[in-house]
Structure formats: C-alpha cells, structure tokens
A and B are shown apart, each in its own frame.
Chain A
Amino acid sequence: MYDVLIIGSGVSGASCAYMLSKYDLKVAVLDKSNDIANGTTKANSAIIHAGFDPSPDTLMAKLNVRGVELAREIAAKLDVPINNCGSLVLAFDEGDLEHIRKLYDRGCKNNVPGLELLDKEQLHALEPGISEAAVGALLAPSACIINPWEYCLAMLETAVVNGAELFLDTEVTGVTDCGDHVSVETNAGAFEAKYVLSAAGVHAGDVRRLVEEPPYEIVPTRGQYFLLDKDEGTRVSRTIFQCPNEKGKGVLVSPTVDGNLIVGPDANVGGADDTSTDKAGLDAIKEAAVKSVPGINFRMNIRNFAGVRANSDQSDFVIEKAAACPRFIDIACIKSPGLTAAPAIGEYVVEMLAAEGLSLAERDSYVDSRKRPRLGEVSEEERNRLIQEDPRYGRIICRCEQVTEGEIVAALHTPIPPTTINGVKRRVGSGMGRCQGGFCTPKVHEIIARESGVDMLEVCLEEPGSEILKYRSKENE
C-alpha cells in the first residue's frame, strides 16, 4: 500500500513527488510512456513567467508568483540550468500601451517584484534588437528561462533518491474507490494507495473520467516552435512577448539556457498527442516573430518541434478532490503558467493532503541536492580531474554540443536512466546541436546498447516501435 500514488511524471507530478519525498511516506509515480515527462513538459517555451498575466485572487496568480521563487531555489539546489534574464511585453500602438499598463497593475496586485513600464527610448537602449515599431514595454525582471525537462527530471530524480518508486510503461486503465484507500488498475497490475494524485496533463480528463465525469474540458492546444542555432542566440537577451490575446501569450522570442534562440508558439486546437508541425503554421510564426525582432535569421533554424498544452474551458487551474472518490485529487487544467507554478502546485497539494489527514513526518536522511557532470562548464583543472577519474570524460561524442562519453555513461547510470536516443539527448544534450545527431546518433546508440546490455536492434528513438535499425545487414526478412 502506497501512501500517495501519482499518475503522470510531468512537471506537476514530479513536483508533487519531490515535495512529498521530504516526508517519511511511500510514494509511487506512474507514467504510460517509456521515459518521464514525455508530454507538455518536454516541449514548451521554457519560461518561468513573472506572474502579471493571471487575474488577481486566482489560484493561478498565487501559485505563479510563489512558483518563481521556488523555481530559483530548486534549480540552485538540484543543478538545473536557469537564467534570470527577465522578460519584456512589447507595445506597438496605443491599444497595446493601454494593455501593458493593465498588465502592470495586475502584476502589482499579484505581488510581482520589480515591474517597470519602459518608454520607447528605454526599451531600445535595453534591447537593441527590438523592432523600431515598438513604442513601449513592460519589463518583468523576475522572469527566467529554464531547461524545463531537466527541471522535472531533477525533482523526480531527487524523489527517487529519497525512496519514491517510478513505474514507466504503466498506463492507468481504472480507478476504484475502496473506502479507506484507492485501487488503481494499470496494464502492469493494480496499485493500492491511500491517496491518488492525477497529474495527467492533456489526458487529465481521461483519467478523471475513470472516477467521474470531469467538471472541465481539456482543449489540447498544439504550439509549434523554431529552435535556432547558437549563432542566433544573442539576438535578444530577454524573453520578448507581444501583447497576449485570447489564444495565449502569443509568439515569443527568447534565448534558451543552452544559448539557442527559441521562437513560437502558435495555437492549434487538436489531438492530445499530435506533436506534428505544419508549414503554414510555421510560416505564420516567422511573420509574427519578426514583428518583434526583425533581424532573426530563420535560415539558422536547427529544429522545429511542437508541444501540446493542456488548455481548458476553465480560466483557472483546477486542483480538487473528486466528488465520487475523495482520496483522488485531480490536478487539471494546468495551462500556462503551469511550468512556473509547478513547484507551488506541489506545495499546495501537500497542504491539501495534510488537511485530509495524511501524516507528514520528515524523513531522517533527506537528500536535497543533485549534481551532474557538465564538462563544457567546468574549469580545465576540474575537467582533467574528471578525465583522470574516468578517461571517457575526455572523449567527445557529440561534436556540436561537445558532450563526452563520460557524461552519457553517467546519465545511463542515474536513478532514472534513459533507454532511448532521445532520452539520452534530453539528459545530456547529445544531438541537440546544429547537426541534429547526424554524427553522434550511431555512437550514442552503441553506448546505450553497451551500457544497458541490450541489442542494437532494440534501441528506440523514443517510444516502443521507434527502433532505429530494422535488421542486421544482409538479413532482410
């Protein structure tokens, strides 16, 4: 019997697991995918929003602003790349100026620190790459950029180090209220837990439906992006937004923590698992982006991708007990700023569980730190020390991002080891660069097979069915 079982290993589920792992509890996390955080957490704008967007007095506003504080603390503790670069919302006309004044007022009510309205001159002095057509802006110095996937991994890995159990390839098929506990049926057998947290992202409604009809509707919204070469990464030094509209926060242009430039997203209502890109949408993003930053060289694009965000028919996050099963807490409608709010969601849910009567005794030997080797970022002495310890730290496998064999091997032996090419890529950055894995994929492939003791033919790009190789040479059929 688990004390708490969490459905979903995205950033909401991971933060709940992380916050719970401080206490002497038996926690399990289930995910239907073969790696953690394979949904919205994997593909988004990677922004820690300052918190001037949500309406005051909403749960979203409260968790957003608290989330910014927590994100910076957690990133520092758990070795997550974060950069407190700040953000700007641009105004192009009188209507926009009016709008950013409203955002300013709202942000002040939400207790967002340091907000400032800039005139044209101040704006262009601060960000010379911005279009001359911009006449003013709202500066939010507390906004950050982060590696969202690693943020999630770091929290979940810490939970696992502190005893939480992770079950991948485990899809929930039923939820039964058994009075003093809940039974969760899956393709890998039943799990029993005193409390169940559903953090199923775009599939929140599907999971809630196993208990009762959800009081909300998830509207999966696909957003496409360009990720540009690092040579374009200094085009702007802050996250640049346009004035938001009813569809979302609009097309942003931002540096990433890795030094690339990210441009997107658009908003296309569609399937929960549709992460395809389309040319018309991408063309429209280009057009919108150059309105903010005219100099962007899209010929330096190295990757297009799409993520699906869990928009809904609700204006706020929905974090509540199910009426038909009070031990089932639904964490739903986590749209933007969900990534920002995530750790505050975890904190909030822990409070809910405590109020329900879950006893929270602190764990004796709690590990709240994490460090991963990043050869490219350490001093030459440290680098040579690591290479002496393990010569594989001297062998560079991914030439574009300069990722070493040692880093890949280390990732393959972490508490949540990757099994796929993309799993390694997300953890260490191999294949993220300008050649997009053209040179390093076969090498990473060999290392995975060797370290995990599997055949080359079994290694997948991503989910099962995405094997890279078909057959041994001359062994057709």
Chain B
Amino acid sequence: MSEKKYELIVIGGGPAGLAAAHSAWENGLRSILIVERDKYLGGILNQCIHNGFGLHHFKEELSGPEYADRFIKLVNETGIEVMTDTMVLNVTPEHEVYVSNTDGVSVLRAQSVVLAMGCRERTRDSVGIAGTRPAGVYTAGSAQLYMNILGYSVGRKVVVRGTGDIGLIMARRMKLEGAEVLACIGASDHPDGLARNVNQCLVDYDIPLLLRHTITEIRGKDRVEQVVAMEVDEHRNVIPGTEKTFDCDTLLLSIGLIPENELSKKAGIPLDRRTSGAVVYENNETLVPGIFACGNVLHVHDLVDFVTEESIRAGKSAAEYVLGGGDAVGGSDGAAGGGAADGAASGGAGGTADGGAGRDADEPPLEITNGDNVKYTVPMMARLSALEKTLEIFFRVTKVFGEGSRVVVTQGDKKVASFKRPYMINSKMEKIKIPVKLLEGVDPADGPLVVRAEEGGAAHA
C-alpha cells in the first residue's frame, strides 16, 4: 500500500471525529484522514431525528442529522480526506492504522491519531435480565435505526427500560409510530434524563413513568408476551413480592452506554476503570504519545455539544503535537516547535507518560481524581505548563444536589477552587474550569487534585 504518512488519522466520522478533524485543519494540519466504518459520515446522529442538538454550540435547536451536516459541510470545505465503509482492525502505539474495506486490507501511517469510535449500548445480559429469548427485545439504538433509517416499526405494545434521554426519546418515538407505550421504567428515584425530555416525551404523551423498578424477567416463546418489573431498594436490589407484569410485545432497553475501546486496548493505551475510557491529559492525549481520544469513546456524554467542544480540543492538541515535532520518530517531518527535541525523545514506542509538543517532557503531571460524591473526572492528569487559561474538568456526581451545592477542588488540606451549582444530578455531566491563576501554587509532587461535591443548605436528594 501507499507509503504516505498522514499528519493525523481520525478513527470515527461521528460528531467527535468530525470536530477533531476540522479543528486539526483549523490549527494548521494539511494531511488529515477520517476513517469511518459506515457508508456515511455523521455517526449515530444520523438516526437521531429528534431535535435538541446544538443549543450550546450553535445557539439554535437542530436535529441530529442537521447537527452532523453542519460539520460534514465544514469538513468538505477543507482538504480533509474521508474514507467511508472502512473498518479499522488495529492501531499500534507507533500510529499504524490497519484498515479493511472493499479494496482490501492495508496499513496506513500517521504522525498522530485521534480515537473517536464512540460507544455501544448495554444489553439485557450485561444487567442480567432472566427469562426467555424471544424476538421483541431491542436496544434503543437498534430500534431507532430500524425506525428512523430503515423505515420499519418494531412493536405495538411497548415497555421501555431506562429513563435516560435516549429511553425517553424512544418512548415518544414509539408513541408517534402508533404504538402503545405501557411504561418507561427506571431504577433510580428520579428520571435520569433532562427535565425537558421528561416533559416533552412522557408528560406530553401520557406515557406512565415507573421509578424505583427494574425489569427482572422476559416471557414469551417466539415473541415477547410479557415482561416482569420489580421494585428495587436504594441499593438496587429487587424487593421480593413486588412483581408487576406487563402484557407487551416489545421491550426497549436504554440502560447505559459503554465506550468502545477495543482498538485503544490493542494500541496498549491504559484505560480508566471509572470511565471505561482512556486515561488522558488536559489536552486529551492518552498515555501513548501522539494518540488522542475524545467523545463517547473517552467518556459517555449527554450532550453532543460537549462532545464537539472536547473534540475541538483533541484536534487542536493533535495539531500542536505534530507541528511541534512530537512525532519525530518516523522522521518524515522536520521538528518545528521549541520543545520538539523533548517531545521526540519520548515519542517512541510508548509506555512513558510524556511526549507532546511544546512542553517539558520531564515535567511531572498533576494527577486529578474524584473525591466525595464524584464518580470520575476527565482528564485524570494535567501538565501544568501546557495549560493556557484554564484547566477544564468534566465529571459526574453520584446523586442529586439541590440549591446551594458546591464543587470543591482541593490538594491535600489546601482548597484550590470552589464553584457554586444550583442543581446537579448524577445523570448529567458537569464541567468546571479552574483558572490557571488558581493553580499557581499547586505542585504535582504534593499529591492529586481532588474534585468533590458538597451539599448546600437546601439540598434534596
């Protein structure tokens, strides 16, 4: 195959990959390839025909395909190459990307790689729903594809398990399709989706919400005939004797998403147990130099707008890495940036936590971790010298926080920053931006930066 070496290969042509590729172009890269397994760019947005996308990024309300189209157009205006209908089989720490398509199997080489493969849906087996194995059990995503892309409906009497945004939207979608939606069932004591979706999908369409319940059994030989729901306690254990049966022909499962990191594992990229995504620095670089990650492959987002924001950063970081000579190993491009020599020194076979452009490779990174009431943070590490104005940290809380709650950032006994929040909920990703100024006194040697959430006076949980 070709001996061409791209400056950047982006794996995945969904919202994350598109934004990362475009951002890398904007930041000066001119040899960029997007590899997409589907026949079209846009990823999962193509089947999300409902509205609600773009309120943050475009300040207007778009449907999924419209949101994707904005970025596809931007990409088409550049010289970014796109390879669709192509599956990536393997990625190596040396930035080799093995692909398969109708032309054959080949290896592509790049100075940097952005991982933007997205996520997959949890199945009935990952949550242990017992019973029979009939037709009529779908993940929300496959039902959505059947309806919105292929033009078929999957059932007439539906139970939805999951009260996150996807579950709520699919409950409404089934109703619009003429189906009867018997219940939208969730295990927590509040719906997991955005309040606007609870109103616009369930309340407006008279779909009953059943909280503190889970599906325990599926019945029916060839097609679903019944599902059994049971009440759960605060530890999510089912309470005996609380069975409720629903006569239905369809069960939609919207019970969580898992970042798809099979390729990351092959590339030897260390993953984080809390996010199931790669461990990354402040610039979205993984612990394998020159490989970056963004979007749902890194951690599951609620809003595509945040995916875009994160991916723009990843694309910019990849550009800085390449233009700074971070990948001098292959020797195809001359070093340009000031820190090039340092970046090159550690840009080799991977394994070291350093690398990247324009920064001191010997700089010990600051560790960032989750404290009380916080599930995880992204990033998990930051190189302080690389920060421009702020250190941006995404995280999720573990429960509902009401009025007057705070996000507190500490290092040891020292309070570094504090942020007020009117309301926080475990199903919604939160974000803080710590001004670099506040980090001036922080020494990575003094231990990790800890992000925790605190109740205010009027908290309800």
Q: With an 8 A cutoff between CB atoms, is B142 at the interface?
A: yes
Asked if B121 contacts A438 (CB within 8 A), the reply is yes
Question: With A and B bound together, what is the CA distance between A388 and B154 in angstroms?
Answer: 37
Query: Which chain B residue lies CB-closest to A459?
Result: B135
Asked if B132 contacts A470 (CB within 8 A), the reply is no
Stretch at the interface among A90-98, A192-200, A298-306: A298-306
Contact of A462 among B37, B135, B262 (CB under 8 A): B135
Q: With an 8 A cutoff between CB atoms, is A456 at the interface?
A: yes
CB distance from B342 to the nearest CB of A (A): 36
Q: With an 8 A cutoff between CB atoms, is A392 at the interface?
A: yes
Stretch at the interface among B102-110, B325-333, B383-391, B451-459: B102-110
Q: With an 8 A cutoff between CB atoms, is B412 at the interface?
A: no
CB distance from B237 to the nearest CB of A (A): 11
**What chain B residues lie within 8 Å of A383 (beta carbons)?**
100, 104-105
Q: With an 8 A cutoff between CB atoms, is B40 at the interface?
A: no
Q: With an 8 A cutoff between CB atoms, is A442 at the interface?
A: yes
Asked if A435 contacts B103 (CB within 8 A), the reply is no
CB distance from B131 to the nearest CB of A (A): 5
Asked if B125 contacts A471 (CB within 8 A), the reply is no
**What chain B residues lie within 8 Å of A365 (beta carbons)?**
none
**What chain B residues lie within 8 Å of A388 (beta carbons)?**
104
Contact of A301 among B103, B125, B130, B134 (CB under 8 A): B125
Q: With an 8 A cutoff between CB atoms, is B145 at the interface?
A: yes
**What chain A residues lie within 8 Å of B121 (beta carbons)?**
435, 438
**What chain B residues lie within 8 Å of A278 (beta carbons)?**
130-131, 217
Question: With A and B bound together, what is the CA distance between A465 and B128 in angstroms?
Answer: 25
Question: With A and B bound together, what is the CA distance between A457 and B126 in angstroms?
Answer: 28
Contacts of A384-435 to chain B: CB distance below 8 A? 384, 387-388, 391-392, 394-396, 399-400, 402, 404, 434-435
Interface string of A241-284 (1 = CB under 8 A from B): 00000000000000000000000000000000101111100100
**What chain B residues lie within 8 Å of A275 (beta carbons)?**
132-133
With A392-B102, A395-B101 already in contact, the answer to whether A464 and B222 are too (CB < 8 A) is yes
**What chain A residues lie within 8 Å of B149 (beta carbons)?**
442
With A402-B89, A469-B153, A476-B156 already in contact, the answer to whether A391 and B103 are too (CB < 8 A) is yes
**What chain B residues lie within 8 Å of A24 (beta carbons)?**
none
Asked if A471 contacts B152 (CB within 8 A), the reply is yes
**What chain A residues lie within 8 Å of B63 (beta carbons)?**
none
**What chain A residues lie within 8 Å of B85 (beta carbons)?**
395
Q: With an 8 A cutoff between CB atoms, is A131 at the interface?
A: no
Query: Which chain B residue lies CB-closest to A456?
Result: B152
Asked if B147 contacts A473 (CB within 8 A), the reply is yes
Asked if A467 contacts B135 (CB within 8 A), the reply is yes
Question: With A and B bound together, what is the CA distance between A226 and B309 in angstroms?
Answer: 40
Question: With A and B bound together, what is the CA distance between A396 and B90 in angstroms?
Answer: 13
With A456-B150, A457-B152 already in contact, the answer to whether A302 and B104 are too (CB < 8 A) is no
Asked if A304 contacts B130 (CB within 8 A), the reply is yes
Asked if B135 contacts A282 (CB within 8 A), the reply is no
Contacts of B237-268 to chain A: CB distance below 8 A? 249-250, 262
With A399-B37, A434-B120 already in contact, the answer to whether A468 and B102 are too (CB < 8 A) is no
CB distance from A356 to the nearest CB of B (A): 39
**What chain A residues lie within 8 Å of B219 (beta carbons)?**
276
Contacts of B121-170 to chain A: CB distance below 8 A? 121, 123, 125-126, 128, 130-135, 139, 141-142, 145-147, 149-156
Question: With A and B bound together, what is the CA distance between A184 and B216 in angstroms?
Answer: 43
A: number of interface residues (CB 8 Å) = 56
The B interface is mostly helix, strand or loop, or mixed, namely mixed
CB distance from B146 to the nearest CB of A (A): 6
With A305-B133, A442-B146, A466-B134 already in contact, the answer to whether A380 and B105 are too (CB < 8 A) is yes
Q: With an 8 A cutoff between CB atoms, is A69 at the interface?
A: no
Query: Which chain A residue lies CB-closest to B224?
Result: A466
Contacts of B312-368 to chain A: CB distance below 8 A? none
**What chain B residues lie within 8 Å of A303 (beta carbons)?**
125
Contact of B123 among A305, A436, A464, A469 (CB under 8 A): A436
Question: With A and B bound together, what is the CA distance between A388 and B103 in angstroms?
Answer: 7
Q: With an 8 A cutoff between CB atoms, is A83 at the interface?
A: no
**What chain A residues lie within 8 Å of B135 (beta carbons)?**
460-462, 466-468
CB distance from A391 to the nearest CB of B (A): 4
Most A CB atoms within 10 A — which of B100, B134, B147, B262? B100
Question: With A and B bound together, what is the CA distance between A434 and B265 in angstroms?
Answer: 15
**What chain A residues lie within 8 Å of B87 (beta carbons)?**
395-396, 399, 402
Q: With an 8 A cutoff between CB atoms, is B177 at the interface?
A: yes
Q: With an 8 A cutoff between CB atoms, is B439 at the interface?
A: no
Asked if B133 contacts A301 (CB within 8 A), the reply is no
Question: With A and B bound together, what is the CA distance between A436 and B178 in angstroms?
Answer: 28
**What chain A residues lie within 8 Å of B147 (beta carbons)?**
473
Question: With A and B bound together, what is the CA distance between A441 and B133 in angstroms?
Answer: 15
**What chain B residues lie within 8 Å of A441 (beta carbons)?**
142
With A438-B142, A472-B152 already in contact, the answer to whether A277 and B130 are too (CB < 8 A) is yes
Q: With an 8 A cutoff between CB atoms, is A79 at the interface?
A: no
Question: With A and B bound together, what is the CA distance between A391 and B155 in angstroms?
Answer: 35
Q: With an 8 A cutoff between CB atoms, is B211 at the interface?
A: no
Q: With an 8 A cutoff between CB atoms, is A371 at the interface?
A: no
CB distance from B42 to the nearest CB of A (A): 15
Question: With A and B bound together, what is the CA distance between A438 and B150 in angstroms?
Answer: 15
Q: With an 8 A cutoff between CB atoms, is B223 at the interface?
A: yes
With A435-B121, A456-B152, A473-B152 already in contact, the answer to whether A394 and B128 are too (CB < 8 A) is no
CB distance from B166 to the nearest CB of A (A): 13
Asked if A436 contacts B156 (CB within 8 A), the reply is no
**What chain A residues lie within 8 Å of B130 (beta carbons)?**
276-279, 282, 304
Question: With A and B bound together, what is the CA distance between A467 and B85 in angstroms?
Answer: 28
**What chain A residues lie within 8 Å of B153 (beta carbons)?**
469-473, 475-476
Question: With A and B bound together, what is the CA distance between A467 and B105 in angstroms?
Answer: 36
Q: With an 8 A cutoff between CB atoms, is B179 at the interface?
A: yes
Most B CB atoms within 10 A — which of A434, A435, A460? A435
Question: With A and B bound together, what is the CA distance between A462 and B220 in angstroms?
Answer: 13
Interface string of A297-337 (1 = CB under 8 A from B): 00101111100000000000000000000000000000000
Contacts of B192-218 to chain A: CB distance below 8 A? 216-217
Question: With A and B bound together, what is the CA distance between A434 and B133 in angstroms?
Answer: 17
**What chain A residues lie within 8 Å of B179 (beta carbons)?**
476
Query: Which chain B residue lies CB-closest to A463?
Result: B222
CB distance from B83 to the nearest CB of A (A): 12
**What chain B residues lie within 8 Å of A304 (beta carbons)?**
125, 128, 130
Interface string of A442-466 (1 = CB under 8 A from B): 1000100000000011001111111
**What chain B residues lie within 8 Å of A437 (beta carbons)?**
142
Q: With an 8 A cutoff between CB atoms, is A439 at the interface?
A: yes
With A399-B37, A473-B152, A473-B153 already in contact, the answer to whether A387 and B104 are too (CB < 8 A) is yes
With A301-B125, A472-B151 already in contact, the answer to whether A394 and B131 are too (CB < 8 A) is no
Contact of A302 among B89, B126, B154 (CB under 8 A): B126
**What chain A residues lie within 8 Å of B216 (beta carbons)?**
279
Contact of B223 among A273, A277, A434, A466 (CB under 8 A): A466
Question: With A and B bound together, what is the CA distance between A248 and B152 in angstroms?
Answer: 46
Asked if B104 contacts A384 (CB within 8 A), the reply is yes
Question: With A and B bound together, what is the CA distance between A273 and B250 in angstroms?
Answer: 22
**What chain A residues lie within 8 Å of B250 (beta carbons)?**
470
Question: With A and B bound together, what is the CA distance between A304 and B129 in angstroms?
Answer: 9
Asked if B37 contacts A470 (CB within 8 A), the reply is no
Asked if B146 contacts A469 (CB within 8 A), the reply is yes
With A402-B89, A476-B177 already in contact, the answer to whether A469 and B102 are too (CB < 8 A) is no
**What chain B residues lie within 8 Å of A438 (beta carbons)?**
120-121, 123, 139, 141-142
Question: With A and B bound together, what is the CA distance between A323 and B115 in angstroms?
Answer: 69
17 A-B residue pairs with CB within 8 Å: A279-B130, A282-B128, A299-B126, A301-B125, A384-B105, A395-B101, A396-B37, A400-B262, A402-B87, A435-B120, A439-B120, A460-B135, A460-B222, A465-B222, A468-B154, A469-B153, A476-B153
Task: List 10 extra interface pairs beyond A436-B123, A465-B223, CB under 8 A.
Answer: A276-B132, A277-B130, A282-B130, A383-B100, A394-B101, A396-B87, A438-B123, A439-B120, A439-B142, A442-B145
A-B residue pairs, 3 tightest by C-beta = A476-B178, A465-B222, A391-B102
